[in-house]
Every structure is written in structure tokens, then in C-alpha cells.
Amino acid sequence: MNELSAEYIKAVELDRRIKTSAQLAQQSLYDMCMGFKEMRDSRLYKELGYSDFGEYCEQETGFKRTNVYNYISVAENLPEDFVHSSGQIGIKKLTLLSTLSDEQRETITETTDIENTTVKELKAKIDSVKKQNDALHEEMRYREEEHETKSQKFKDRIAELEAEIKDLESRPIEVAVETDSKEVANLKDAMRRVDLDWSEKYSKLEEDSLKDRRELLQKAEQAEKDKQEKLSQLREELDRTKAEYEKKLAGKTEITSTQDDKAIFKAYLSTAVDSVTRLVGFVNEHNDSDNYGLFTQKARQLADIINSKLEV
């Protein structure tokens, strides 16, 4: 039997580490991400008899290749300490965060409760931050181009004055020396004034640009604050509505036995239909949530319970 190669041994060891990390994803998510990245980059999966990295992932680890590339994106774009501290939020959210720059990710984590935010809400938040960032960069690019245009005009004027001075200095001495000296002095004085004027205007342009950037950032922060306040108001309204319905439901259970059976049944049925309608609406609105499968399972269990009670 041929002696096992060092590359084969390394591939087997890396494969074992990936599978172990997958089983302990909550504790070792970053290690698993880095393991997938190393296996892909080094092509060690070929030592295990696979010609395609995606085939190796699906056959040996049970992960689809699209999910594996999400893990690799996390390893390539997120710091190790961030992944360790945020492993409980799930790979979908980590993948979304891996598309951001360090500055954008810091903005998101400081203004958003990522753990309690749905994947759909987080994606919308990230898209908003990217649009704001693109708008800010576009505004800065426009102002920089404007500055460069004005700067070039001043430089062209200075070059013209220097050319005139050089021309005067090269003239023969016998040609109106006194007059030429005055012209040279006037031109030099004009150049000093232009240079001073340029310096002042450039400083003013830099101040205006800095002021505009601060205003844009303040507007973005205020817009985010207004959005959070709106969400808070909506949550409070939802809590109030829920409390009212619970109170209404409790009131319905206090109907006395002297009342008509049809009235009692109608009260119970109205409350039940309203509650089930809201429950179904809530489940459908959260079809992008990590808990969607759990929501639908519990809702179906409720229907089974009602059927079983009626059969009895």
C-alpha cells in the first residue's frame, strides 16, 4: 500500500475540522467559515477525490454551495471578533453585513438592534445606508470636480502671467527698460494678488465642502432617528391593540349562562376569527424571517387542535 501523501493527510484533517465546526456552528462559526475558505483556495478537496469544490461541499458537509460561499464571504469580509460576538444572529444576517464597509457596518450596528431585527428589515436598512453613502460620495465627487476646475483656471492665469514676465525679461535692454521694469513689477504684483485670492478662495471652498458634508450626515442621522421613532410608535400601537383585544376576549368569557346560546357563540366566533386572521397575517408578513418555519408549524398545530376538539 502506498504511503499517504502529506497533502492527502492535510486534506483529511481539514475536512474533519470543517465537519466538527459545522456541528458546533454557534461556538465555532468563524472557524468553519475559514475552513471552507482554505479548502476552496488551496484546492485540497481534490485530495479527497473531488474535482469540484461545490460537489465536495454538498457530498461531504451537507451544505449547498450557495450557503458555503456565504460562509466564505463572512470569513473574507468580517473581523473574527465580530463574528464570534454576533454568531447568534444567523448566517443570513452575517452575509448581509459582510457586504458593507467597516464604516457602514459600524453605522448599522450602532443604530440597529440586529438580533431582534428580521432579515427583511436588516436588508432594507443596509440598502438605505448604501444609498445615503452613494449620495454623499456623489456630492463629494461633484464638489471635488468643481474645485479642480476652479483650481485649473487659477493655475492657467498664473501660467499666463509667468509667460508675460518671462517675455518682458527676455527683451533687449535698449527697449524701454524703465517702462518694462514697471510692467514686470505690476505683473509680479498682480501675480501675488491672484495667488492670495486663490488661497483665500480655496480655503473657503474647503470650509464649504466640510460644512456641506456635515449637513448631509446630520440629515441622514435625523432621518434614521425619525424612522426609529416611527417604528417605536407602531410597536406601541400594536401593543395597545393587542391589549384591547385581550381585554375584549376576557370580557367575552364573562357572559352569563342566562344569555342566549347563539349570542355567546357569535361572540366567541367573532373573537376567534379576528385572532386567527391577525395570526395568519403576522405569519405571512414574516416569510423572510428565520422563524418562519416555526410560525407556520405552530399555526397548523393550532388548526389541528381545533379540529381534534370538535371531533370529541
162-196, pLDDT tens digit by residue?
Answer: 887 877 777 765 544 455 567 777 778 888 887 78
Range of the domain at 270: 255-312
Residues 52 and 141 in one domain: no
How many C-beta atoms lie closer than 10 Å to residue 225's C-beta?
11
28 versus 215: which is more confidently predicted?
A: 215
Residues 221 and 282 in one domain: no
Segment 221-236 shows an average pLDDT of 78
Q: Is residue 195 part of a domain?
A: yes
Q: CA-CA distance, 185 to 245, in Å (whole number)? A: 90
Q: What's the whole-number average pLDDT of the chain? A: 81
pLDDT tens for residues 247-300? 776 665 554 444 567 777 777 788 888 888 888 888 788 787 778 788 888 888
Domain termination residue (choose one: 99, 128, 150) = 99
Number of compact structural domains in the chain: 3
Cell numbers linked to 195 = 495667488
Segment 39-53 shows an average pLDDT of 95
Residues 146 and 50 in one domain: no
Of 73, 77, 78, 53, the residue nearest 63 (C-alpha): 53
Q: How confident is residue 216, by pLDDT bands cut at 50, 70 and 90?
A: confident
The confidence score (pLDDT) of residue 56 equals 94
Domain termination residue (choose one: 181, 205, 240) = 240
Residues 292 and 186 in one domain: no
The confidence score (pLDDT) of residue 176 equals 45
pLDDT tens for residues 50-86? 999 999 999 999 999 999 999 999 999 998 888 877 7
The confidence score (pLDDT) of residue 275 equals 85
Q: Is residue 1 part of a domain?
A: no
Q: Is residue 247 part of a domain?
A: no
Residues 140 and 231 in one domain: yes
Q: CA-CA distance, 46 to 58, in Å (whole number)? A: 14
pLDDT tens for residues 109-123? 888 888 888 999 999
253 versus 161: which is more confidently predicted?
A: 161
The confidence score (pLDDT) of residue 57 equals 94
Of 286, 231, 227, 290, the residue nearest 96 (C-alpha): 290
Residues 174 and 285 in one domain: no
Residues 121 and 197 in one domain: yes
Residues 276 and 166 in one domain: no
The confidence score (pLDDT) of residue 175 equals 46
The confidence score (pLDDT) of residue 177 equals 46
In whole angstroms, how far apart are CA 250 and each of 247, 254, 267?
A: 5, 7, 11
Of 36, 105, 30, the residue nearest 69 (C-alpha): 36
The confidence score (pLDDT) of residue 228 equals 80
Q: CA-CA distance, 5 to 89, in Å (whole number)? A: 40
Residues 91 and 115 in one domain: no
Residues 110 and 195 in one domain: yes
Residues 113 and 131 in one domain: yes
Q: Is residue 249 part of a domain?
A: no
SS3 for 62? coil
Cell numbers linked to 124 = 432594507
Segment 229-250 shows an average pLDDT of 75
Residue 312 has pLDDT above 60, yes or no: no
Residues 268 and 229 in one domain: no
pTM exceeding 0.85? no
